[in-house]
Amino acid sequence: MKFAIAGAGYIAEIHAKALQNNGASLTTVIERFPEKACAFAEKLGAPGCYAEIEEALAQADFDALVIGTPNFLHAPQAIAALRAGKHVLVEKPMAMNSVEAQAMAEAAQQSGACLMVAHCWRFDQDVLWLRERVGQLGKIIRTKGYGVHTHWGPAGWFTQQALAGGGALADMGIHALDTARFLLGDPQPVSVYAKMGTNYKDFDVDDTGVMIVEWDNGATSYIESGWWQPHSDGPEAATQVYGTRGFGRLFPTRLELPNPQTEQVEVEESGFAFPRVEHCPQEMYDAQMAYFIDCINRGTTPVPGAQEGLVNMKVVDAAYQSSKTRKVVEIA
Ligand SMILES: NC(=O)c1ccc[n+]([C@@H]2O[C@H](COP(=O)([O-])OP(=O)(O)OC[C@H]3O[C@@H](n4cnc5c(N)ncnc54)[C@H](O)[C@@H]3O)[C@@H](O)[C@H]2O)c1
């Protein structure tokens, strides 16, 4: 199987390494700045470099595209590739908004090719450990999660509404949102209340936010997003799960289960180190790429795929609307 990567920036390096670590072949790099594209391609031994996706689709030889470009390019690049019959792994957020995400889902359905959304925390060892044990916590009442950068934040296109679609919520909050939804077993959102703000820098997108999502299984998720925050209760995707029979958490990752017989709280430690050397480890992206390749080989629909990406975009849209209107927004 031959792969192309769109974008030759930060995440593209990680995806290129994930392709290498999975023994997959990178043939094509698509990047707006041709010199950057060709330097990236040369470094990775990829024979083709192109400035535009249309050019690459017409001339290059690849079966699947990994999209690591600014958010405004996710939908047009994914739809063009899907229409050409290519499988697509697109970075989070899936698109600028849910309207674009819906169009991508439809393009995938029509093409029959795989569309996967890179909600990478679903492939993390700690997240998977907690997901396997969440049933021990009884009925889940609420989750608390964090998608927050402390004392730093991104620059450039990430901070421009027209190129990113949203700020810290679309960039970081979405990791905490998807992790909460994954741990809850992918319920559907019912309503969202959110308060977003721009308090730390002069951006036209949010750099601070809290939102409360009500799910159709009765659980409620509280999620903080932000860049340049003075504090966060946990690193990216850190999520706490409160159930009727116990408590579970990520980073540090463990269960706390009250024993009714002894009236003691029994702690089951995951044994995974915290803090980590790298909070976003290469192995997580390697596992994500392995799953994408496996879905293509088997012809199965990826999860996280179009539907999971779309649900997250609906919640993000509702959060921005709620913050603007100061009202709870129902999600149909
Ligand atoms: N899952 C994760 O852990 C994670 C981490 C970082 C970024 N991301 C996501 O990956 C995407 C890219 O982020 P990044 O940090 O790599 O950004 P980046 O700015 O480092 O890289 C983006 C690249 O896209 C290129 N580009 C711009 N316009 C282009 C065009 N028209 N065609 C092709 N290339 C073009 C830029 O020149 C740049 O090289 C974003 O959607 C971001 O949210 C995900």
What pLDDT is attached to residue 293? 98
Pocket lining: 7 vs ligand 1, CB cutoff 6 Å: yes
Dihedral of CA atoms 101, 105, 110, 115 in degrees, nearest 10, equals: 110
Same domain, 33 and 65: yes
Pocket lining: 9 vs ligand 1, CB cutoff 6 Å: yes
Same domain, 292 and 152: no
Condensed to tens digits (0 to 9), the pLDDT of residues 70-83 reads: 999 999 999 999 99
pTM: 0.98
Pocket test for ligand 1, best of 28, 30, 36, 69 (most atoms within 8 A of CB): 69
Condensed to tens digits (0 to 9), the pLDDT of residues 107-138 reads: 999 999 999 999 999 999 999 999 999 999 99
The stretch 17-29 carries a mean pLDDT of 98
Residue nearest to atom 27 of ligand 1 (CA): 32
Ligand 1 centroid – CA 84 distance (Å): 22
Pocket lining: 304 vs ligand 1, CB cutoff 6 Å: no
Give the residue from 172, 186, 167, 140 showing the smallest Cα distance to 279: 172
Please give the tally of structural domains in the chain: 2
Q: Which residues pair with 127 in a beta bridge?
A: none
Q: 260: which residues sit within 8 A by CB, 6+ positions away?
A: none
Same domain, 165 and 221: yes
Q: Rounded to an integer, what is the distance from CA 146 to the centroid of its chain?
A: 13
Same domain, 126 and 116: no
Ligand 1 centroid – CA 117 distance (Å): 14
Same domain, 266 and 242: yes
Same domain, 318 and 171: yes
Same domain, 73 and 148: no
What pLDDT is attached to residue 332? 86
Domain around 273: 122-279+312-330
The stretch 9-18 carries a mean pLDDT of 98
Give the residue from 199, 244, 258, 246 showing the smallest Cα distance to 225: 199
Ligand 1 centroid – CA 31 distance (Å): 10
Condensed to tens digits (0 to 9), the pLDDT of residues 131-165 reads: 999 999 999 999 999 999 999 999 999 999 999 99
What pLDDT is attached to residue 96? 98
* CATH number of the domain encompassing residue 88: 3.40.50.720
What pLDDT is attached to residue 6? 98
Q: What is the mean pLDDT of the chain?
A: 98
Same domain, 112 and 56: yes
Amino acid residing at 328: V
Same domain, 80 and 163: no
DSSP three-state, residue 2: strand
Same domain, 92 and 204: no
The stretch 179-196 carries a mean pLDDT of 98
The stretch 171-188 carries a mean pLDDT of 98
Q: Say yes or no to pLDDT of 300 above 90.
A: yes
Same domain, 95 and 186: no
Complete DSSP assignment for 65-83: EEE-S-GGGHHHHHHHHHH
Residue nearest to atom 10 of ligand 1 (CA): 68
Pocket lining: 31 vs ligand 1, CB cutoff 6 Å: yes
Condensed to tens digits (0 to 9), the pLDDT of residues 237-290 reads: 999 999 999 999 999 999 999 999 999 999 999 999 999 999 999 999 999 999
Residue nearest to atom 36 of ligand 1 (CA): 7
* CATH number of the domain encompassing residue 211: 3.30.360.10
Ligand 1 centroid – CA 70 distance (Å): 5
Same domain, 105 and 74: yes
Pocket lining: 118 vs ligand 1, CB cutoff 6 Å: yes
- CA torsion sign, 107 to 109 to 111 to 115? positive
